[in-house]
Amino acid sequence: MRNMNWFCEGFKWQVVEFNYGAELLIKLRNGEEELKIWSIWVYSMLYCATQNRERLTQKLGTREAIKVGEKLNVYVGRDTGYVNWLIQDSHPFPSDIEHWIFPTENYVIEYLGFSPNIVTLEFEKMIEVEEEKVIEGIEFTKMSLEYEKERYKRFKIGIYPKLMSITDITCKGDRLEILMENEIKDYKRKKCYNERVLVTIESGIEAVRITENKRRLLLWLIFWNTKKYDPEDKYFFNVENSEFIRWLEEENGKKFERKVKHYCIFSSTFIVDVISKSKPKIKRLGRKERTI
């Protein structure tokens, strides 16, 4: 029988909020008890359905967790596969980056950044790294960099505002919302206009990976060299021969029973990769304006 001491007993992931300021908020719930995990300056975040992380959870079962309260198990790593993936994909990169892992009963949430704050009704505290419990090893969340094998095809053809940024990402249950905006300043009228687009995936999400745009330099170079991508107004891609799907199937130890697709959403702030059974819906919202 699999060792089940690795997860946060009774806790289920509920909400993830990620915004342009690179601030991350994770909400976990255990019955009536809610726990918030908050961190600033997050370089990349990954969350996957727990049943898809068989390989990781087996490894965590052999490691000692950092205990927060009675039921919350947290893991922190350095020089892991996830860290190595981002270091190779971007340069320069901080040498003291940490890989935080929050395994729950429904999703495993990971991010690359620095120590988070934990907030409950009883206390608020920053998690302190216990050096003897730090995980090191390339096998932890080792992702592929072989993007040249992938093929990116636009899944949504249309005319969209140029140079849009992803400003807010909200993952709630099995639903993902991504708000994209651009900003136009009219100095004569002393007005600032924001064109907005909302991307929604309503169900069937297996994994989401969010990374700062400037940290995916290797992927950008491949796009530029192969002339696959016009950065001004093309944002929505279906990725064929996906390395992300291949990696997740290796983590799971088997192929997906139902067909999934890898969708990639580019912007000037973040790149979001989604593995899902459902296709994203894209809706243009009304223009917002404010006085300069």
Domain boundary among 137, 164, 189: 137
Distance CA 282, CA 181 (A): 13
Angle (CA) 4 203 236, round 5°: 115
pLDDT tens profile 86-128: 888 876 666 678 999 999 888 999 999 988 888 775 667 788 8
Helix, strand, or coil (residue 79) = strand
Assigned domain for 234 exists? yes
| Same-domain pairing of 209 and 249 | yes
The whole-model pTM stands at 0.88
Q: Are residues 272 and 233 in the same domain?
A: yes
Q: What is the pLDDT of residues 131-146, one digit of tens each?
A: 899 998 888 898 888 8
Structure tokens at 34: 């809610």
Spatial distance between the Cα atoms of 247 and 11, rounded to a whole number of angstroms: 26
Cis peptide before 92 (omega within 30 of 0): yes
Residue where a domain terminates, one of 112, 137, 162: 137
Q: State pLDDT tens for residues 30-48.
A: 777 788 888 888 889 999 9
Angle between helices 81-89 and 217-226 (to 10 degrees): 50
Q: What is the DSSP pairing of strand 72-80 with strand 98-103? A: antiparallel
Residue 3 lies in a domain: no
Q: What is the chain's mean pLDDT, rounded?
A: 83
What is the rounded CA–CA span in Å between residue 26 and residue 12?
11
The pLDDT, as a whole number, for residue 178 is 95
Question: Residue 224: what are its φ and ψ, rounded to 5°?
Answer: -65, -45
The domain in which residue 187 lies consists of 147-291
Number of domains, the chain = 2
Tell whether 161 and 286 lie within a shared domain. Answer: yes
